[in-house]
Structures are given as C-alpha cells and as structure tokens.
Structure 1
Amino acid sequence: MKLFRSALLATALTLPLAAGATYAATPADALVIAQNIDDIVALDPAQAYEFSAGEINANLYDHLVQYDAEDTTALSPGLAAEWTVDDANKSITFTMRDGVNFASGNPVRAEDVLYTFKRVVTLNLTPAFILTQLGWTPENIDQMVTVDGNTVTVKWDGDFASAFVLNVLASRPASIVDEVLVSQHVEGEDWGNAWLNTNSAGSGPYVLTDYRPAEMVRMQANENYFGGAPAMKQIIIRHVAEAATQQLLLTSGDVDMAKNLTPDQISGLPDTVKVETYPQAAVHFLSFNQKTESLTNPAIWEAARYLVNYDGMTESFLKGQMEKHQAFWPKGFPGSYDETPFTYDVEKAKQILADAGVETPINVTLDVINSAPFTDMAQSLQASFAEAGITFDIMPGTGAQVITKYRDRTHEAMLLYWGPDFMDPHSNAKAFAYNADNSDGNYQATTTWRNAWAVPDEMNKEVLAALAEPDQDKRNEMYVDLQKKVQAESPIVIMFQATLQIAMAQNVEGYVNGSNSDFVYYRLVTKN
C-alpha cells in the first residue's frame, strides 16, 4: 500500500493542479512541502546564491565546520573532527573525521577539501567572493590550502581573525564535494558545473534525485550519513507559487508543510495544522539603481525613507511575517542597530524634495517577485510614493528573472531581500556599505554594486577597519556606525526584518529552521 501511495504522489507532482483535484495522503516516510522555489538559478554550491538553493544544499552537503541541525547558533565540527588555530601565521589545521563517506560511497578525503576550494575559486561564480576574500586565487590556492595525510591546513591573507575564517568555511560555497564523482561529469572546463546544477555530490543526510526548475525538488535519504540516517526517506518540495493553493494542499492533507502562506491564511487554518515561527536574518529593502539619472539625487533617497508605510504593512498583510527594521544587520545579532528613526510622513518627504529642487512627477519601474508578500508590498509602496509624486510602474517576474535583472544592473528600482552569507556582520557590511570599484566590468555580489552606488571612500575604509578590529566590542560599535551612515547616505532603503511562519501538519516534528536559508534542516524530522 505504501508503494501505491508513493506512486500516486509522484504522479500528482508531475501534473498541474486542477480545480477539484484530489491527491493521495503523503507517505509516512516522506515529507512533502509546498513552497515557492522559482528563485533558484543554480544548485551547484559553487554557483548557488539564492535562498531556496541554500535550503536544499544545507541538506545535501557538509562543511569542515558548520552550524548543524542540533544547534544552529553554535559552530560545530563537521567533516573536520578538530582543528588547531595559529593566528600568528594566519592558518588553521583541520583533522578530518574518520570513516566518513560521501553519499556515493566514496570516502571523504582531505584531497576533496582542496578540490572543492580550488573548484570554487577557479570557476569564480557568484558566491566565490566568500572564499576569495581570504586571498585565494587560482594561482595560489595550492599554497593556501595544503593536504598532509588526513589533515588540511588553510591559510589566509588578510587582516582578520580566525573566528571570521571559520565562519567563511561554514558558508555555502565551502560545501565539500566528492572529487571522484564530480570529475566523472566534467564538460570541457566547467568542473562539473552543469551536472551539479541538477545532481548532488555531497556527504550530507540527503541526495538530490530529481530537480525540475519551477516545478519540484526530490531528495532521497543518505542511509549512511555519519550523523545518522534521517527518518524521512524522501523530501519532496513542490513548487507552488500561489499561497492560496499552498493552503488548499495543506488543509486537504496533500502536503505536510506550506512555507509561503499569508497572515490571513495563517490565522484561518484548522486545528489539523500548526504554525511554527522562526526569526530570520533576512532584511527587506527598496533600492534605486544609480545608473538611472533621475534617481541619483540624495534627496530622493532621503525622502523615500519617509514614504514607506512601515506600520501600515506590518500591522496588516505582513503581520507575523516581518517587523520594522531599518538597518542592514538584523536585530538579535551582535553589532545590530535596532533604532527605527524613520516613519511614514508624506509632508516631510515632499518638503525634502522641494528643498532640494527635485521636480516631480518622477516615473520609476519597480521590479518585484511575483508572489506574496512582495506584490502586496509593491502595491503599498506604489500608493504611498505616489502621494509625493513618485510613480512606480510595478514589473513582476519570477524570482530568477528579478534576481538576474538585478545582477545585470538593468533595473531602475528593486524590491528585494538580503540574507548574510555567513554569520558575521562583515557579510552584510560588505553588501550594503562597501563598493570600492563601481565599474561595470567589476562584478560584485553586493547590493551596492548591483545598484551602481559608488560608496564614499571613507565608508569603504571603515568597513575594512571593522573587519580587522580584534576588539569585538569596538568592532560592534563600528558596525553600528556603518549602519547609521547607510541609513543617511545610501540609495538603499531598508524596511523590514523577516519573521518566518511555517504551517505544517500536527504530526510533523523536528523541523529545524535557523536564522537564514543555509540553516534549514530536514534530518531530524519525524511524522508521528
């Protein structure tokens, strides 16, 4: 009977949802999720940079050190059993865990670590900067990462402490891949990139068995996972963009979990469903591309901060999903600036524009992901900005379309979100307060570069100084100062910090959702 139900479910996942359609109940050993996953551009950890891709890779791969399912707030041993730090010589030596295999059955070796890091640096795709900031290049990687038996020594070139390096090595592009397996699927000089965007080569608790863009993801349990075999033998993520459809699938028992419900839908769920809340590190912002001449006047940036109806949104359609937050480092983490000095004040915004001689109306296209709550946020901004003569023409698109446009710097205004690449305030400081080379040919995975904002030299220097500061208290003070400056001087209007509400069947236990997408774990899930 279980096989029959599983087959029915697999069939249902390949078909469009029809009015009145019914599906088999989910299998006891499978977790079925309804989620908007159209933001995925790539799954190869050397390329993946989107939230949904992070969630998936967190369950496919391990790192030398990592924030694990048991405690997403503490850095723990991963594929390395222990490590020794030598701050004076800027190096860390890791001893590999004994007896660990990749899901393929190949042993995890120190050589796989070197191969992984060399692969990321050589491909030099979107997230490569996280590792290359350690001073690694294709030319020197064999000297910066060295193997001796079952140990790996990692060196860095830069003025930062070993604690920062450990956080870098716990980030997504440092996910260790199986060299033997990946090498079998290389096409030309792509280091297996094409293959890894639809397959996996990790040692994590799950293996990617099926990925269809904007349709579904299927992961199979790795029964030999060194941390113990997962109870859920399959994780099936079905792409469902519409929140109403997610709600229907959940309440009818066709899925176990829905990740993108609106507050109204959350409040109207039956007793057969429970809701768990997870504070998130992602901040949501509105930004203006400085390649658009009409948006380069700083008075427009300042006025914009008074044209966001913060309370109106968080007390209605964003209730329970976001809280007002106006700084780039999220609340609840050391170094955050939690004051919210800006309120919705149309008259003040008008006066700022008038005093600066800004002529209105100003017409601006606003790119937005075509799903809740982004479309609702865009409509709120459209209404409030119009009061001051700034007209937004909303341009909806899939997550992948919007993000690709943002990376190409072809937007005018953008409504988007940002999560730290690793849990250190420098991750967001570099994204929101640093851009030393604004040229088109100097691609940077930062919101400053993507908005073509040439950050003042003084601010760039302060970002680097904060990174090098050994006194953590002083370092935190520097990040607070940077957040205040970004508020006052940038074309990036930070509005909210996310709070994630996930609805799930009452029998689902053990789901772990940390502060960002890289800390989403299915390994401990059970269905009672």
Structure 2
Amino acid sequence: MRKFIAGLVMGTALATAPLMAQAETPKNALVMAFAIDDIITLDPAQIFEFSGAEYAGNTYDRLIGFDNDDVSKIYGVIAESWDVSEDGKTFTFKIRDGIEFASGNDLTAEDAAFSLQRVILLDQSPAFILGQFGFTADNVKEKIYATDDSTLVMEVDQPYAPSFVLYCLTAGVGAVVDKEEVLAHEVDGDLGHEWLKTNYAGSGPFKLNKWTAGESLSLTANEDYWDGAPAMKRVIIQSVKEAAAQQLLLEKGDIDIARNLEADQLASISGNDDIKLLSKGKGALWYLGLSQKNEYLSNPKVREALKYLVDYKGISETILAGRSQIHQAFLPEGFLGAYNENPYSLDIEKAKSLLAEAGYPDGFSVTMDTRNTTSIMAMAQSIQATWAQVGINLEIIPGDGKQTLTKYRARQHDIYIGRWGPDYQDPHTNASTFAWNPDNSDDAAAKPLAWRNSWDAGDLTAKTDAATLERDDAKRAAMYVDLQKDVLENGPFVIMFQETEIASMRGNVNNFVLGPSFDNNYYRYVTKD
C-alpha cells in the first residue's frame, strides 16, 4: 500500500477541501454528495451497512457476481468456473489467473480460502452468511481450503439449493483480501482486523485513498485492474446529510451526483436541463422494529394495531414520492417467493379497538430511535402524529447512522425505524433475519433482526431452515410465501415500503450503475462528456 501514497496527495487534498469552493469537478474525478455517516468499518469481514457495502463493492473483488439486470445470471469474478459435487455438498472453484492485489501480490486460492475463513474466525455481524453452512471457528480451515494456487474447495454441511450457496458468495463476505498484507498488520491474533477497519487490502477497480469517519471517503483508480482500469481516476464522496445542501451543490456543479435528494428536491430540479435522474428498484425495505422486551410492544394486539397506524399511502406519495412503493412482506418484489399483497392500511378506528382489547384504551409512551436524515425523520414524525391520534406518545430519539445501529444491534431500543437491504439475492437472505431466531438469549451467537427485536420466532426457524434444502423452485417459493404471511400477522415488524433508489446527476455524467443491492452500485464504468 505504501508505494501508492505519493500519487494520492492530490486526491486527498480534493477530498478534504470544501466542495463549495469548487467551480466544477475535474474531468477525471467522480464527486458525490452522499450520507455515509453509517460507515462503521472498512473491513469486508465486518461491513454490514449500506454505505460500507457500496465501498466494498467498488474496492474488493468477490468470487462470483450476478447480472444487475437479471440476477438469475450468476457469473465468475475471481472464480473463473466452479463445480458442485453429486451429493451437493462440495463446491470447487477455479481461481482466475493474473489478478494482483494493490500491494502487488498475486491473488491465489489461498487468499480466497483465508478470506472466507477469516469471516468465520472474526465472527462479526455478517459472519452468519457463511456460518449457516456449518462453518465454525473449529472446523473452517478443514472445510474451506486451497488445494493449489488456483483451486479453492468449500465443503458445506448439507445439500443446500446450489443457488443459495452461490448467492451467499456474491455478498460482502465473499470479498477476497490480501492474506500477506493483512497478516503483516496482525496484532494479538486479530487477523489484521483493527488495521483493515481503516485500511485496504483488495484487488478491486478502486483503492482506498482516505476515509474520515462521518465526513468523507476518497478512492483512487487501480490502474492495473485485471478487467480494465476505470475512466475515473478518483472518486470523492463528501458526507452531506441534508438533501437541500446536496441539491445546491449539484445545481452549482460542485458535485457530479447527489445521492440522497428527497421528494421536494427532486420536484425542484425536474425542469433543470443540466441534471438527469437514474433510478433502480432496490431490495431495501423501510420498516419498524418493535422490541419484545417492551411490555406494550410484546402484546400481539398492540403489534397489530401499530400495523394499522401508518399512513402508507400518504408517506409513499409525499415523503418518499418516486422513491418507494408500498410493500409489507419481508421478501422484496422480484425475489423468488415474494408475497406482494399489502393487507394493512391506515385505519385509526381499527387501531383504537385493538388497543382497547390489549388493555391500553388511552395509549402509552414509547421511544423510537431514528437516524437523523431527512426522509427517516419525516417518516418518524408522520408516524408520531398518527399515533398521537390514539393516545400513543412517541418520543423520537435522533442520532447518526452509527449511533442508532449500534444501539439497535445491542437490543437497547423500544422501536427502531430504518432500512433493511438483502445481503444476497436468494430469499433466505431475508427469511433468515425476519423469520429465524434459534437463540433469543442476550448472548446468542446469531443476531438476526428477529433477535434484535427479542422475538422468539418459534417453529418459523425450522421452517426457514427447511426452505434452504428444497431444490424445486416452485415448492421453495410456496414455503417462503407461508413464512411471509406468518411474519406479517405475528411478527414484531411493521414493514412499510420497498425502496427505489434515485441518483441525481449532472448531464455530462454517463454509465453510473445502480444495482438491486447497494454493493452493486458501481463507479468503474463512469465517464464524463
């Protein structure tokens, strides 16, 4: 990494300079305003946030990927090809020759094996994506290994649907890190984790230049990238949370892309010929998580009442106008087995009746942890006003992305409002978090959304596991529909909307890619007129 530092001085200066001082952006740099305050780490074995996932998707290569326009088409990235054994339990990958890390080290099957092993050994938030295949700290080195420089073997514990296994390797945990570089920074057996939280050891089209938490992130092009160097030599992301500020920067030409414009800003720029919009349906869902440790929220009648106390239509047509559709089941539209019926709508009288049945005719007081971005705060305030009509006093507790997520992951909330995005394109990605919770204790190893909300999912856990072993797509889809109906009726989630992401761009920006997941938003193809 050291040999690249001298060449990055200009990029660092630009990334840290006030954007308002710029007359225009450089022709060879992509400059964005984007709320990236949710980034907690840059280690792909730990990244589990939207902005962090996008960073990793542009800086690290994975074993395999999928076509953004047809996710059923899986293709090799680092893995040139693969085979699945007849019993469905052994996956053998042929590693592509000629890939180098930023350090100059050759990428081999040993790096791939180490990277997957490292995910399990570090046991950070996304480790369950691989751990669900029977890998543990005790067995992972025997189950995931390289037989030579170009052959990686992965032995899973059951004959899962092959697409399920492969889709999991398209997730962030499938990123391959430079074993030699990472271990050179190991401290007290941490596998280089503390160092990689703020540094880089990948082979992707871009390399880390500098990250200043909550402020900016800058990348520089990998000129030796095996699949062709990016046209943009730098990517500079300034963390700007206010949508109005992003709009002003975009209109002045101080940035190329604004990533978080709200309905008001989108309407305002609609007549500006210098700006164009790019949209893509995402798998991300807006939802409320209701802690079952709270005496009120643990009452099933209260949970049902709250599902009738959201102005779904109003929020979708105003706060999230053009950026969402009403969707109340945990599988996004477009996924195998997605249930696209929306049984709940705003019904104050129905909610009052349910609260009376629950024993709370006069309501109660509760708090909601809310990331302080424009859309989320506006949604929270809408819900607050609606709930006041039935006597529920909702206190909004604002915080940045890191603060609210950290509290949520520690089960210290009453209600959490936020987004959930799928980690991979198989339906198990959401079933395994909304409908699966094998251990509801505070010190559980697995911590899905059901666990975060202290919900014992009962027999849904076993049903979720069973769906991963079904190889008939039609039968498997039916199993997921049943799971969604159960969670809709009984779960501690008020799922509200499915997101449409919009990038607002200067007219000279071309080929920016929005994908179905945030780690499939790509910078490498961008050009400027």
CA contact (8 A) 1:102 1:201 kept: yes
Q: Distance in 1 between matches of 2:490 and 2:161?
A: 29
The within-5 A match list for 1:328-477 is 328-456=330-458, 458-477=459-478
- Asked if the contact 2:15/2:218 (under 8 Å) is kept, the reply is no
- Number of the residue aligned with 2:37: 38
CA apart distance, 1:65: 1.1
What secondary structure is seen at the aligned counterpart in 1 of 2:59? coil
Q: Report the AA paired with residue 184 of structure 1.
A: A
Question: SS state of the match for residue 468, structure 1?
Answer: coil
Contact 2:370 2:418 in 1 (8 A): yes
Alignment of 1:71-82 (within 5 A): 74-82=73-81
Note the C-alpha offset of 1:69. 6.8
1:506 — aligned with what? 507
Equivalent-residue separation in structure 2 for 1:69 and 1:316 (angstroms):
28
In angstroms, what is the RMSD of aligned CA positions? 1.7
Provide the TM-score with structure 1 as the length reference.
0.95
* Structure 1 residues 268 and 87, CA gap change in structure 2 (3 angstroms): farther
**Aligned letter for 2:416?**
M
Distance, in Å, in 1 between the alignment partners of 2:339 and 2:159 is 24
Partner residue, 2:183: 183
> What is the CA–CA distance in structure 2 between the aligned matches of 1:72 and 1:105, rounded to whole Å?
32
Equivalent in the alignment of 2:107: 108
Q: Secondary structure at the match of 1:487?
A: helix
Q: What does the per-residue CA deviation read over 1:227-249, in whole Å, with 9 as the maximum and x for residues that have no partner?
A: 11100001111101111111111
Structure 2 unaligned spans of 5+:
1-7
Which stretch of the first structure deviates more once superposed, 234-243 or 7-16? 7-16
Query: What is the distance in 1 between the residues matched to 2:299 and 2:238?
Result: 44
Q: Give 2:3's aligned residue.
A: none
Label 1:260 to 1:244 Cα distance change in 2 as closer, same or farther (>3 A).
same
Partner residue, 1:227: 227
Instruction: Give the TM-score normalised by the residue count of structure 2.
Output: 0.95
Q: Go from structure 1 to structure 2 and tell me whether the alpha carbon gap of 1:385 and 1:92 turns closer, same or farther (over 3 Å shift).
A: same
d(CA) in 1 for partners of 2:491, 2:131: 26
Q: Distance in 1 between matches of 2:63 and 2:14?
A: 39
User: Paired residues, what number?
Assistant: 519
Instruction: Give the distance between the partners of 1:103 and 1:455, measured in 2 at CA.
Output: 44
Residue 23 (str. 1) matches residue 22 (str. 2) = yes
Per-residue CA distance 1:125-175 (angstroms, 9 max, x = gap): 111111111111122122211222221111100341222111111110120
For the Cα contact (< 8 Å) 1:67–1:519, is it kept in 2?
no
**Counterpart position of 1:489:** 490
Equivalence for 2:166:
166
For residues 502 and 204 of structure 1, what CA distance do their matches in structure 2 show? Answer: 23
The equivalences for 1:66-215 within 5 A come to 66-67=65-66, 74-88=73-87, 90-149=89-148, 150-215=150-215
SS of match in other structure, 1:319: coil
* Kept after mapping to 1: 8 A contact 2:230/2:524: yes
Describe the SS at the equivalent of 1:513. coil
Measure the CA separation in 2 of the matches of 1:146 and 1:196. 22
State how far apart, in whole Å, the 1-side matches of 2:394 and 2:101 are: 50
Aligned-residue offset at 1:343: 0.8
In structure 2, do the counterparts of structure 1 residues 15 and 361 end up closer, same or farther at CA, with 3 Å as the change threshold?
Answer: farther
Paired residue secondary structure (2:21)? coil
Contact map agreement 1:366 1:413 (CA 8 A) in 2: yes
Q: Trace 1:310-329 onto structure 2 (pairs within 5 A).
A: 310-329=312-331
Q: Describe the shift of the 1:473–1:72 C-alpha distance in structure 2 as closer, same or farther (beyond 3 A).
A: closer
Instruction: Say if 1:9 and 1:24, in contact at 8 Å, map to a contact too.
Output: no
**In structure 1, how many angstroms separate the alpha carbons of the residues matched to 2:154 and 2:200?**
25
Range with greater deviation from structure 2 (79-88 or 409-418):
79-88
